[in-house]
Amino acid sequence: MTDSPTDRQRLRAAHLRPAAERAASTARGLHHTALISGDVERTIRFYQDLLGFPLTELIENRDYPGSSHFFFDIGNGNLLAFFDFPGLDVGPYAEVLGGLHHVAISMPPEQWEAAVRRLDTAGVGYEKHSGVSVYFRDPDGARIELIADPLGEMYGQQVL
C-alpha cells in the first residue's frame, strides 16, 4: 500500500524508468471499457445526445440472451461500451475497493467547455477541479470525468 511520500519515492526509484529507457507497450490501446446500463435508451441519450459521443454499434450480448452490448466513440479509436441485463437485478452502482473509480475522457478545451454548458442545461450536477476536470455521475451512477488536458498529460504534467 502506498500511503506516504516515502513509499511513492521508493516505488518511483524501483520501477519508474525514464521515457528513453522504457520498453514499448505490448498493447495497442484501450479497446473499450464496459459499464452497466439500467436503460439502453436513457444511456444512449446521455452519452450520445448530451456528451456528444456517437453510438457506433448495438448488438446482442453473447453472454446473456436478451441483453444488449453497445458502443460509443470516445475518440482515437477508443470505445466506451455498455451492457444491459434485463430481468437481472444488478443493484445500484457502487464504488468499492478493487472496482471502477471513474472513467476519464479527454476532450479539446472548446469541446470540454461546451459539454460543461450542456451538463448545466440538463441539470446534471458536477464538480470542477483544477479548471480542466469536471466529475459527474451518469444515469446509472458511474462516475465520469471529462478532462480538457491532452492525452498523456494530467494537470499540465506529462504522464505518458
Q: Say what the pLDDT of residue 141 is.
A: 92
CA-based nearest residue to 72, from 35, 26, 20, 125 = 35
CA–CA dist 92, 134 (Å, integer) = 22
- Asked if residue 122 has pLDDT above 60, the reply is yes
Residues whose CB is less than 8 angstroms from the CB of residue 35 and which lie 6 or more positions away in sequence, other chains included: 80, 81, 82, 83, 100, 103, 138, 140, 142
3-state secondary structure of 65: coil
CB atoms near residue 84 (< 10 Å): 21
Residue 112 backbone dihedrals phi, psi, to 5 degrees:
-60, -50
**Residue written as grid cell 446534471:** 124
What is the mean pLDDT of the segment spanning 122-127?
A: 97
What is the mean pLDDT of the segment spanning 73-95?
A: 85
Structure confidence by residue, pLDDT tens digits, 61-70:
888 888 999 9
Mean pLDDT score of the chain, rounded to an integer?
Answer: 90
CA angle 131, 134, 139 (to 5 degrees): 170
- CA 95 remoteness from chain centre: 14
Report pTM. 0.85
Q: Say what the pLDDT of residue 28 is.
A: 81
3-state secondary structure of 10: helix
Structure confidence by residue, pLDDT tens digits, 3-61:
677 898 999 899 999 889 999 888 888 888 999 999 999 999 999 999 999 999 999 98
CA–CA dist 9, 2 (Å, integer) = 10
